[in-house]
Structure 1
Amino acid sequence: MHAERAALLRDAAERANSYLDGVDERPVRPSAADIAALERLAGPLPDAPTPAAETLALLDEAGSPATMASQGGRYYGFVIGGALPVTVAANWLATAWDQNAGLWAASPVSARLEEIALEWLADILRLPATIGGAFVTGASMASFTALAAARDALLARAGWNVGEDGLAGAPRLRIVVSEEVHVTVTKALSLLGYGRATLERAPVDGQGRIMADRLPPLDERTIVCVQAGDVNSGGFDPIADICARAREAGAWVHVDGAFGLWVAASAAKAHLAAGAELADSWATDGHKWLNTPYDCGIALVRDPGHLRAAMSAPASYLVTSGHREPSHYSAELSRRSRGVEIWAALRSLGRSGVAGIVDRTCRHAARLADLVRAAGLEVLNDVVLNQVLVAADDDAATDAMTAAVQADGTCWCGGSTWRGRRAMRVSISSWVTTDADIDRTAAAIIAAARSGAEQETRP
């Protein structure tokens, strides 16, 4: 049994290394044939066991070719990073541990690693050292978790206990969001009982940043959601100004910083998130700019007591200790050890390594913008971060350019709509992207745009 397991794990490691060795040379998007070959994984459920080595081989041979090459240097969709080797290795080790990270008693190593990772996160993100936090699936659940703490804290201040009394008949809270609020925030608010039609939307400028002087009046029953890095433009709301107004009024400020909060590590870019430390809660991801494997979201709250009050659900059979109990800060009880990869990334990279990823990808974005502008394409945003919005002559031409780029396979960029215009959105987030990747990407985008223009001019 031991020999069979060892052989299987060695085979898995060899297959994974082979995949990673070839990921940068293959088309970023899988071919139609590779996607069709996924049907090899289907069929009736087997009646008898299948040898583990055979199962792994089928998964690799049919599954690996049908992946998006997001581990390579030319995947620019959805602000997805490529996992650092140390985080992949740490993930494998943690999977072999097979720990339930919900309780100290169930996994002291998982619980302690989370404590350490939270301390390091507060340091590198320049947030208060006393913050509480939870390791969740992604920014959607991070905002849900932090905003649940906000809701319950403001209602408790008004004399209402959500955990005991629910929401029916509760005092009304006002929720102020940006006109460019990200869908993960509105989804989280909807799950918390605040539908989209109830939200007050603050006007934004041409880069999608809230105009602080046009915020609606705030009070002690208001939650204000701001952005540290718009997912289209990369723009940052004036967080310091908004926090100052909110503090005077007793309002709660939540920062959606899924990737943008990481600029705090960079001496060159930290000014963009100035004032973020004054907020009351934050949501970010490890699987974006920190380049950990999926899934790895992080919810942070200034007062750990608020987070615990919203999430803790004691039970007589759950053994507690004198340590931080992870399940008291998250909606999940049973979950994997997500803090392992955060710890591994921060321990391996250090402050300068994280800053290097931020600075390098931002430099790549600026360079790509210069190259496509020089070829006659339009860049719709001020490229202050790692986001570039590229447009052709009109919306139809832009969509045709995006489709052609995706079909070509040199790189992968998604489509978006920005301030009423269609755009191709380029999100440069991977630690492995190089100058050569940017040159190849620019050439592919320019060729796609010219091909579309030529087709339009043909009789």
Structure 2
Amino acid sequence: MSALPEAYGAALERAMAHATEWLASVPTRPVRPEYDADRVASSLLPRLPNEPADPAAVVDELAALAEPGLMAIQSGRFFGWVMGGTLPAAMAADWLVSAWDQNTGLRFATPAAAAIEESAAAWLLDLLYLPAAADVGFTTGATTANFVGLAAGRQYLMDEAGWDLEGLGLSGAPRITTFAGRERHAAVDLALRYLGLGGCVPVHADKEGRILPDALADAMDQQPGPSLVCLQAGNLHSGAFDPMTEAINVAHDRGAWVHIDGAFGLWANVSPVLRERLAGVELADSWATDAHKTLNVPYDCGLAIVSRPESLRRAFSVHTSYLIATDKSLGDPLEKVPEMSRRARGIPVWAALRQLGRDGVIAMVEGLAANARALAEGLAAIPGVEVLNDVVFTQVSVSFGSDDRTRRVTQRLMAEGAVWMSGSSWRGRDILRISVSNWSTDDDDVAASVEAVRRAVEAEPEE
């Protein structure tokens, strides 16, 4: 009889115990790590031992080594970057994904994983009010989701131009020009670099970072030809949304493929209260978002959504004698992402959506936006604090006067560790940037965070 169950039992029990202890500590522990990376590294064995080790003992050793260097990202007082916590059902589902160990590339080989991901995809399209016939690829994150959407766009434009991209590559191909707002996220530039498309033409934006449709039209008229237009659903600093209908119409009138970078902000479209700010977003050709941000599933879960499945599958499909294709209309998972082999990262998405239901997703998204407004209002009441943006979603950008004082207050805030908010630079000023992304943040967390900022401000008077 196989010893497989016994081989895993003790190690999994220890992992469960350490995970439970960690989660129990998150609400009260400092958000910042106690050790930096060098100090954690100094505790690790310098060389791999020759002898095997007991699996349960390895888990105990790993937990002890890691704990002082862990950031409490799941804390309701973590606002440093756009990182959600993890919903209970999504975390548990992610454990099952590891236990099941399914290589989710083919519907034929891993039917349960494929079917559950297809169900999650259909729910997502319905929730986000995007075309029901679109393909959804489960990627590693928003950067890769942007890559996938823009790759599909590249394929479409090359096909329209009559260029054999698969056979001839990019050398000698028609030039594709990419247009994006000046305040685009760097992930867009990274995806364009991966695709060999070079830099983009930066288009003027307003004070909140929203692209100006007239400026987009002027820029495109100056450089006609095959083009990609990247719009933004959720500015990194202000949370603002590009004017979708106007900008998409400008782009489509000139034959462009329109891609939406909606890493965290696309989720606003689920809300009847917030949706008007994204009016027309469904008219685009592709969309990228992150489930580990606003939806609060574990890491390694971006979403690439493409309205033209044929362009997506031409960009990523592969056919060999040993890969058994099944339903041509649905396509295999490996035809929608860069990887042929991957974990079933769509299963935690299904679990998160099933836990919340439509009403729960709406309530969570609207709750994040409400917490951002509450933080902005509380901080604005502190003498010497200036909120710099219109708080339209989950981002708040703050100054404490001079750049020097803003840096000092930010450093003091992070050093104390009661809350974690990160420094940045926006509109030529140093700022404190707050990103509200965690499902567990409540009124007490908001109040405690405002008081932590107050302490830091009072300890760093203006010189």
Q: Normalized against structure 2, the TM-score is what?
A: 0.95
Q: What corresponds to 2:285 in structure 1? A: 280
Partners of 2:168 and 2:40 lie apart in 1 by: 53
Q: What corresponds to 1:429 in structure 2? A: 437
Matches within 5 A, 1:17-96: 17-32=20-35, 36-96=39-99
How far 1:234 sits from its partner (Å)? 0.1
Q: Does 1:404 align with 2:412?
A: yes
Q: What corresponds to 2:243 in structure 1? A: 238
Q: What corresponds to 2:131 in structure 1? A: 128
- SS, match of residue 460 in structure 2: helix
The amino acid that maps onto 2:153 is A
The answer (yes or no) to whether the contact 1:155–1:162 under 8 Å persists in 2 is yes
> Which of 257, 266, 282 is the aligned partner of 1:261?
266
User: What percent of counterpart residues are identical?
Assistant: 43
Q: Does 1:363 align with 2:370?
A: yes
Distance 1:130-1:240 versus aligned 2 partners, 3 A rule:
same
- SS, match of residue 32 in structure 1: coil
Distance 1:27-1:159 versus aligned 2 partners, 3 A rule:
same
How far 1:38 sits from its partner (Å)? 4.5
Partners of 1:191 and 1:34 lie apart in 2 by: 29
Segment of structure 1 superposing worse, 297-306 or 216-225: 216-225
Q: CA RMSD in A?
A: 1.4
The answer (yes or no) to whether the contact 2:106–2:334 under 8 Å persists in 1 is yes
Q: What corresponds to 2:353 in structure 1? A: 346
How far 1:316 sits from its partner (Å)? 1.6
Distance 1:35-1:18 versus aligned 2 partners, 3 A rule:
farther
The amino acid that maps onto 2:234 is G
Q: What corresponds to 2:212 in structure 1? A: 211
Q: Does 1:452 align with 2:460?
A: yes
Q: Structure 1 stretches of 5 or more lacking a match?
A: none
Partners of 1:289 and 1:53 lie apart in 2 by: 34
Q: What corresponds to 2:394 in structure 1? A: 386
How far 1:33 sits from its partner (Å)? 7.4
The amino acid that maps onto 1:210 is I
- SS, match of residue 334 in structure 1: coil
Residue deviations 1:169-190 (CA, integer Å, cap 9, x gap): 0001111011001000010001
The answer (yes or no) to whether the contact 1:90–1:341 under 8 Å persists in 2 is yes
The amino acid that maps onto 1:163 is E
Q: What corresponds to 1:321 in structure 2? A: 326
Partners of 1:29 and 1:427 lie apart in 2 by: 16
How far 1:37 sits from its partner (Å)? 4.2
Partners of 2:56 and 2:120 lie apart in 1 by: 36
Q: Normalized against structure 1, the TM-score is what?
A: 0.96
How many residues of Structure 1 are paired with residues of Structure 2 in the alignment? 453
The amino acid that maps onto 1:168 is S
The answer (yes or no) to whether the contact 1:38–1:63 under 8 Å persists in 2 is no
Q: What corresponds to 1:334 in structure 2? A: 341
The answer (yes or no) to whether the contact 2:35–2:68 under 8 Å persists in 1 is no
The amino acid that maps onto 1:201 is P
> Which of 103, 115, 118 is the aligned partner of 1:115?
118
The answer (yes or no) to whether the contact 1:35–1:66 under 8 Å persists in 2 is no
Residue deviations 1:250-291 (CA, integer Å, cap 9, x gap): 211100000101011111111111111000000001000000
Segment of structure 1 superposing worse, 239-248 or 409-418: 239-248
How far 1:372 sits from its partner (Å)? 1.1
Residue deviations 1:341-386 (CA, integer Å, cap 9, x gap): 1111111111111111111111111111111111120011100111
> Which of 184, 191, 196 is the aligned partner of 2:187?
184
How far 1:298 sits from its partner (Å)? 0.7
The answer (yes or no) to whether the contact 2:262–2:289 under 8 Å persists in 1 is yes
Segment of structure 1 superposing worse, 173-182 or 59-68: 59-68
Partners of 1:411 and 1:385 lie apart in 2 by: 20
How far 1:4 sits from its partner (Å)? 4.8
